[in-house]
Amino acid sequence: MKIRALMIDIDGTLLDFRQSEVLGISAIMEHYDVTPTPELAAHYHDVNQSFWQKYENGEITRAQINEGRYPAFFGELGVEVDPDVCEEIYQSFVNNRLVPVDGALDMLRSLAGKYLLYAASNGYSVKQRDRLRKAGMISYFNDIFVSEETGSQKPQKEFFDYCFARMPSDLKRDEVMILGDGLTSDMKGGNNAGIHTCWLNACGETNTAGVSIDREVHSLKEFCEFLQNL
């Protein structure tokens, strides 16, 4: 296996999105006089994931995630909310209280110059670039691909076709690996694109999605060690 380029997911792979998510939804709950609890935060995560899954499947748009996830969650609590207000509060935490995944900056420093590095994310272009900039990561990437500008999202093959059209013309797909924590977005997307896949499974989860994976690692340090031994 010869790897020349790496496509790297952002949320959950480089930035600890889960911590920001808990802070954000807790702030929204407090705004609507709901007492935050770990159980409620965990349930919001599940609700949020269900909307992202629909987005990955092409069933809803990115805007419809915001329009639907907050009323769905708070509706179960009998609380009426304004999705725009919720999103403003939520994004203030997601975009400004950034926590890098352990070893993320060290990994980027060690890989830059040795590999072509591409960020690959589902989300809003300006916001994702701004988050990478604030986290001190943006300079390590050769390019950044975000679903808002590609016109499609992971795991759709079209997302990756867009990316490859903007990579060096001599780069072959079997020379590219995607690193990410998402089974149905990153790993399935890698399969659809015909590139190598590496699942960052930091929590020791079980692959219940039935997605083929070339490599599984439990930390970014382990991923770097894997590359060194190729």
Is residue 24 scored above 90 in pLDDT?
Answer: yes
For the chain, the C-alpha Rg in angstroms (whole number) is 18
pTM for the whole thing?
Answer: 0.89
Is residue 62 scored above 90 in pLDDT?
Answer: no
Distance of CA 179 to the CA centre of its chain: 10
Give the model confidence (pLDDT) of 171-198 as tens digits: 999 999 999 999 999 999 999 999 999 9
Question: Which of the residue ranges 13-22, 94-103, 104-113 has the most confident prediction, judged by mean pLDDT?
Answer: 104-113
Is residue 170 scored above 90 in pLDDT?
Answer: yes
Helix (H) or strand (E) holding 177: strand 176-180
**pLDDT tier, 72 (very low <50, low <70, confident <90, very high otherwise):** very high
Q: CB neighbours (10 Å) of residue 174?
A: 13
Q: Which residue has the higher pLDDT, 98 or 194?
A: 194
State the chain's mean pLDDT as an integer: 96
**pLDDT at residue 94, as a whole number:** 82
Residues near 86 by beta carbon (within 8 Å), at least 6 away in sequence: 28, 66, 70
Q: How far is CA 1 from CA 139, 208, 211, in A?
A: 27, 26, 20
Q: Which residue segments constitute the domains of the chain, with CATH numbers given?
A: 5-16+99-228 (3.40.50.1000), 18-96 (1.10.150.240)
Is residue 88 scored above 90 in pLDDT?
Answer: yes
- Would you say 117 and 108 are in contact if contact means Cβ atoms under 8 Å apart? yes
**pLDDT at residue 95, as a whole number:** 84
Active site residues: 9
**pLDDT at residue 145, as a whole number:** 98
